[in-house]
């Protein structure tokens, strides 16, 4: 059978997509990307022919996918904002999948999240589960990758914790910080994604790193990496959100919202499978100690303005 010439990655210059793009480059697979941000700093090495990531002009979307072998889909919205709800992200995912099918794409590798559930009270996790169903019903061959918390160049959460640690004499830990998470490297997510693309069967797998750590431990590791030792105080979830709103107003962003905090505290960023990722957060923090948290990373600047 003739091998198809290229793959499509959504958001090849954004966060998770950049790791997938680099992994495909290492495998000598040319890519196209669907994105509205084709020039993000720090991604100058990535070669990807861009087309708009849009859901209103279906024929154009089909054309931008025609001839592709695999669609690596990272598209999602982080939170409900303005008029955008998760239902719209699910509907857009269906449009993208339908366009991929009509364009003759062989397979979709869909990036989901650990522990999605349609009956979750958290809209993010319920929406992700509905998007997964859309993938399974798409008529394409599929693989679903469920990452925990992804770390690497361009991340938001860890970077902004480091940013706060660098600047504040006191740092608030939500609750007692005794809930666990299992960070995974962007490179590991990308390796799992390209492995999944090669599987004959449809697969659903978690992408999680080798270590399960407490939230407070993670904050301490970041503090050690950036060489700052503020006083840690424990805040109730309500006060954490209040504090994050105050800082959010200063930096004109949504730093952390209630459902995100709930998901974290319910340990939804922990996998129940054997870890497939091998890279350790501590090592990454130490090798990136000079850069992490130097600049605030704004979700609203990245995607909403
Ligand atoms: N980040 C994590 O720690 C993490 C953890 C678990 C699961 N995930 C999942 O991994 C996937 C990628 O997440 P990410 O954090 O790496 O995201 P990202 O790269 O910042 O964005 C992924 C894609 O979605 C598009 N997008 C994001 N927000 C949008 C908005 N408000 N309106 C329109 N398009 C938007 C981006 O468009 P542009 O190309 O124009 O930027 C990009 O193509 C998502 O499915 C997410 O749920 C992420």
Rg (CA), the chain: 19
Q: What is the pLDDT of residue 125?
A: 97
150 CB within 6 A, ligand 1: yes
Domains of the chain by residue range: 6-147+186-207, 151-181+211-299
What's the sign of the alpha-carbon dihedral 112, 118, 120, 121? Answer: positive
Mean predicted lDDT score pLDDT of the chain: 97
pLDDT tens-place string over residues 50-90: 999 999 999 999 999 999 999 999 999 998 888 889 999 99
Torsion of CA 232, 236, 237, 238, to 10 degrees: -120
- Chain mean position to CA 91: 19
| Portion of the chain with pLDDT greater than 70, in percent | 99
Q: Which token pair is 68? A: 């592709």
Q: Which of 11, 51, 83 to mutate to test the pocket of ligand 1 (most atoms within 8 A of CB)?
A: 11
| Portion of the chain with pLDDT greater than 90, in percent | 95
Task: Give 78 Cα–ligand 1 centroid separation in angstroms.
Answer: 7
Ligand 1 atom nearest to 157, measured from its CA: 3
Task: Give 184 Cα–ligand 1 centroid separation in angstroms.
Answer: 16
Which residue, 140, 46, 26, is CA-closest to 93?
Answer: 140
* Mean pLDDT to the nearest integer, 278-303: 97
Rounded-to-integer distance, Cα 122 and Cα 265, Å: 12
Task: Give 76 Cα–ligand 1 centroid separation in angstroms.
Answer: 5
Residue 1 predicted with pLDDT over 70: no
Task: Give 267 Cα–ligand 1 centroid separation in angstroms.
Answer: 21
CB 73 within 8 A of CB 93: yes
Ligand 1 atom nearest to 156, measured from its CA: 1
Same fold, 6-147+186-207 and 151-181+211-299: no
Which residue, 122, 124, 119, is CA-closest to 79?
Answer: 124
Q: What is the pLDDT of residue 162?
A: 98
15 CB within 6 A, ligand 1: yes
pLDDT tens-place string over residues 8-36: 999 999 999 999 999 999 999 999 999 99
Confidence of residue 148 (pLDDT cuts 50, 70, 90): very high
Q: What is the pLDDT of residue 4?
A: 66
Give, using CA atoms, the residue closest to atom 42 of ligand 1.
11
- Chain mean position to CA 5: 26
For residue 128, give every residue at least 6 positions away whose Cβ sits within 8 Å of its Cβ, in sequence order, or none: 76, 112, 113, 116
Ligand 1 atom nearest to 114, measured from its CA: 6
Q: Which of 22, 74, 186 to mutate to test the pocket of ligand 1 (most atoms within 8 A of CB)?
A: 74
At the topology level, CATH places domain 151-181+211-299 in: UDP-galactose 4-epimerase; domain 1 (3.90.25)
Residue 26, Ramachandran bin (φ over 0: left; ψ between -120 and 50: alpha; else beta) = alpha
Ligand 1 atom nearest to 113, measured from its CA: 7
Is the pTM higher than 0.85? The answer reads yes
Residue 228 predicted with pLDDT over 70: yes
Q: What is the pLDDT of residue 2?
A: 55
DSSP string, 192-212: HHHHHHT-SS-EEEEE--S--
Task: Give 200 Cα–ligand 1 centroid separation in angstroms.
Answer: 27
Ligand 1 atom nearest to 78, measured from its CA: 28
At the topology level, CATH places domain 6-147+186-207 in: Rossmann fold (3.40.50)
What's the CA angle centered on 129, arms 123 and 134, to 5 degrees?
A: 120
Q: What is the pLDDT of residue 81?
A: 87
């Amino acid at each position: 059978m003739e091998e198809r010439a290229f793959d499509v990655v959504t958001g090849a210059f954004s966060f998770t997509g950049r790791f997938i793009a680099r992994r495909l480059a290492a495998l000598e697979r040319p890519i196209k990307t669907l994105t509205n941000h084709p020039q993000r700093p720090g991604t100058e090495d990535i070669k990807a022919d861009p087309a708009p990531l849009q859901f209103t002009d279906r024929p154009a979307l089909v054309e931008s996918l025609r001839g592709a072998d695999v669609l690596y889909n990272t598209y999602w919205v982080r939170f409900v904002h303005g008029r955008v709800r998760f239902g719209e992200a699910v509907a857009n995912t269906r449009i993208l999948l339908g366009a991929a099918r009509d364009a003759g794409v062989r397979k979709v590798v869909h990036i989901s999240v650990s522990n999605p559930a349609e009956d979750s009270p958290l809209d993010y996790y319920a929406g992700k589960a509905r998007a997964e169903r859309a993938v399974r019903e798409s008529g394409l061959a599929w693989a679903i990758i469920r990452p925990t918390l992804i770390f690497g160049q361009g991340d938001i959460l860890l970077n902004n914790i480091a940013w706060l640690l660098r600047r504040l004499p006191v740092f608030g830990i939500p609750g007692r910080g005794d809930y666990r998470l299992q960070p995974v490297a962007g490179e590991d997510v990308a390796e799992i994604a390209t492995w999944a693309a090669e599987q004959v069967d449809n697969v659903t797998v978690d992408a999680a790193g080798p270590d399960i750590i407490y939230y407070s431990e993670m904050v301490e590791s970041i503090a050690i990496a950036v060489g700052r030792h503020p006083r840690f105080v424990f805040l109730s979830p309500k006060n954490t959100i209040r504090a994050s709103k105050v800082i959010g107003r200063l930096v004109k962003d949504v730093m952390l919202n209630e459902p995100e905090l709930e998901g974290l505290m319910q340990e939804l960023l922990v996998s129940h499978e054997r870890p497939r990722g091998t890279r350790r957060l501590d090592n990454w923090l130490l090798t990136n100690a000079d850069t992490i948290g130097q600049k605030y990373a704004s979700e609203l600047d990245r995607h909403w303005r």
